Chains A and B, each alone.
Chain A
């Protein structure tokens, strides 16, 4: 074992470059042609298929799988994109084990669902490789819609609006499009710069203009957009991060998990990324899991997820938890941080208190445990960048209140994705809501 791997503190190059590249290879390698034919043949072409109901974007799954089976792979992709223009990313990142594949009747029958996600990827990859956008824009309507955020919700909304012939301008605070597809999703789920390729694919419809480095809440205001455009769609996701709520200033070595992941996703050479020898991640969702696994893949020796409730309460699916465990991540439950220990302003350990449920309320038991750590990540949830909205839209539990069709409390403003109270912190839900809001906007604008 190389000494570099066991270096204390936060250091880069714990593993050889080649090993790191291997670690971050595709989590589910794509199906080859024959594998896809065999996988497709397992589909029963169910009546009123349960998988379709389970998919937030209601893709006609039996139909696209049958199209793969009969050799019409591009037709299959078209069936998928009709409902979900980001079907390529969804095929990679959807927790299918709790969505379409959970509902598959073969899951009921034999515990082995049809590999819907992989088949979806097979089809969408094939069409996207042709570099030809499959849809044509309708005749221009002369209407112009402003979209805030170029994440899954914003992109899905913009694409559908463009299809209907509207002009779209997207205001994006970052310098790059894609939202969490580009900055958040685990690197091994979206390899080969897929997020950017997908954005290019979506923009291929035409009529969509993106203004980068133009955050809402700065020079761009909601009132301004409302007066300048025929309608506004808010798909700004969640830009804030919850704090740990501990006394004092956090020592060096404490960071937001989403920032670490964003850095990792943007790194050209992951072997140059620094990671702690002993890493603790606080949280129980997908972000905590992804952060912990990727820290491990970079070469951290010990990675521990500490979650304040039980396993059954974790937001991350069982599959995701198993993935973490098999990467060598320890998952510990019923623990909450109470003190960060430091030496010379640098994190050395975290003290955690055991928790329990008392009459439905989570309480500390008074007993504590200390875990050595030179790096700690907060993954305890993201929050809406409320100030950017200027207080004009009604919120519900800290998110934008929306109706089923994406309407907000303002008659010319729609919203979708993570920033809304209907969001489920899933790419596929954001896509569905963006698309449905576009339909609602279209209907409203065209009377």
Chain B
């Protein structure tokens, strides 16, 4: 049996599945249930400074997009940080940690961008014996208008400054949670590292409007006819999150900085992909909010099973394994030539590959051959783009077959070279020409 126990910046948990700071971690009641269900850790819902707590809207907080069977694909929320009293939260955190010493309890914090505010709250959190803190620099709505959350996370200098304050004022590991609502995720990550943060976690939610009610012309979720942009999460955001994790993992300046991966993780497979790209563990929210805490059983079993099948003994065998394979476009091998190939036995003749290629791409798939409905790749035209594979409703019916070195590419009439060659040396590349001259 593979060992899936996790050690993230010294915080130990029996598995790498944490619940992200969000409604599922707002109270002892929920967190107790989560730990009973098997979650490895939680990041407690964000605490604010002492005083009257924030208030939430009293109408709908969530908007969503669905697939046809109302499968939830994306969720957006306009909820703020915890709206419960600071000391109630602190007492509960302490009790829960005491009840569950083997689980990770990290506390998310968001206070104004002044050192005094951080200095005030850090000892209170430390006193709970929580395992670490996560700085919420990600929240894109409500709090950012008050100069917190994403308003800090979008300014690398602030990130560095606050991270430094925290490191100076607590012994607890500091994780900086990053907002994706920024042009280049590497800048805030570098700032977090420069400020001494132990790790980053990402992504927080993406600024979004999920839909517009076409009867009332109000954005959804609608509060008395008006709406505000919310934070988007759920399966739909996973590809964005994966890329941002990879960007940080492979950036020379932040390489090695631990990453807690967040963003649409729904199954063990999603989690494994995040870890392969460099995440040391993962945080989950929407999947739990959609299906309840029990999903962690599938995640634990699925991850262990895959690791057993592949012979990975511990998470260290998995983490970052895909990172070196993420590269810049200019380094991709231009001598790697593929052609689509349609398995006629599994083809159901829907014609989607044909029309996609015919209307929008390279006219490389037939629709009729000898008067019969027949879909076949015209190798003379096929550029190997993979569109047909993606639109085909039958799995493995169309595959991309690489041409062996030495064979002729019928489209270009050239032989496929066996050596790797990329854009940097390509004759059409002006800079390559310049370099050669």
Chain A contact residues, CB within 8 Å of chain B: 34, 37-38, 40-41, 44-50, 69, 105-106, 108-109
Contact = CB atoms under 8 A, between A and B. Distances in A.
Interface centre among B67, B69, B349 (most CB of A within 10 A): B349
A50 B373 contact: yes
Given A40-B68, A45-B352, A109-B348, 14 more contacts: A34-B70, A37-B68, A37-B69, A41-B69, A46-B350, A47-B354, A47-B355, A47-B367, A50-B349, A50-B373, A105-B348, A108-B348, A108-B349, A109-B394
Contact of B351 (A34, A41, A46, A108): A46
Interface in B239-294: none
Contacts of B354: 47
A249 B67 CA distance: 66
Interface string B347-368: 0111110110000000000010
Contacts, number: 39
A105 B68 contact: no
B10 interface: no
Interface in B334-352: 348-352
A41 B348 contact: no
B393 interface: yes
Nearest to A44: B350
Contacts of A37: 68-69
B352 A41 contact: no
A105 B350 contact: yes
A47 B367 CA distance: 9
Interface string B63-89: 000011110000000000000000000
B197 to A, nearest CB: 45
Contacts of A48: 351, 367, 373
Contact of B68 (A47, A69, A108, A109): A69
B348 A47 contact: no
Contacts of A69: 68
Contacts of B70: 34
Which 6 A/B pairs are nearest by Cβ-Cβ distance?
A47-B351, A41-B68, A47-B355, A105-B348, A46-B350, A109-B348
Given A50-B373, A109-B394, A44 B352 contact: yes
Contacts of B394: 109
Contacts of A46: 349-352
Contact of B67 (A41, A44, A45, A106): A41
A45 B393 CA distance: 11
Interface residues of B, number: 15
B349 A105 contact: yes
Contacts of B350: 44, 46-47, 105
A38 B349 contact: no
Contact of B348 (A34, A40, A45, A106): A106
Most B-side CB within 10 Å, residue of A34, A40, A109: A109
Nearest to A108: B348
Interface of B: 67-70, 348-352, 354-355, 367, 373, 393-394
A38 B70 CA distance: 9
A44 B350 CA distance: 7
12 contacts: A34-B70, A38-B68, A38-B69, A44-B352, A44-B393, A46-B350, A47-B355, A47-B367, A50-B349, A105-B348, A108-B348, A109-B394
Contacts of A45: 352
Which one of A34, A45, A48 has the greatest number of beta carbons of chain B within 10 Å?
Answer: A48
A108 B351 CA distance: 13
A38 B373 CA distance: 28
A49 B373 CA distance: 10
Contacts of A34: 70
Nearest to B67: A41
Nearest to A34: B70
Nearest to A53: B373
A37 B70 CA distance: 9
A276 B43 CA distance: 76
Contacts of B351: 46-49
A73 B393 CA distance: 25
A37 B67 CA distance: 10
Nearest to A69: B68
A115 to B, nearest CB: 14
Nearest to B356: A47
Contacts of A49: 351
Nearest to A38: B69
Contacts of A41: 67-69
A345 to B, nearest CB: 60
A66 to B, nearest CB: 11
Contacts of A105: 348-350
Contacts of A38: 68-69
Contacts of B349: 46, 50, 105, 108
A44 B373 CA distance: 17
Nearest to A47: B351
Nearest to B70: A34
A153 to B, nearest CB: 30
A276 to B, nearest CB: 47
Nearest to A45: B352
A407 B313 CA distance: 79
A109 B394 CA distance: 8
A45 to B, nearest CB: 7
A407 B67 CA distance: 49
A279 B69 CA distance: 46
A49 B350 CA distance: 7
A47 B394 CA distance: 15
Contacts of B69: 37-38, 41
A106 B393 CA distance: 10
Contacts of B348: 105-106, 108-109
Nearest to A37: B68
Nearest to B354: A47
A50 B348 CA distance: 11
B67 A47 contact: no
A153 B53 CA distance: 74
A45 B373 CA distance: 16
A105 B394 CA distance: 11
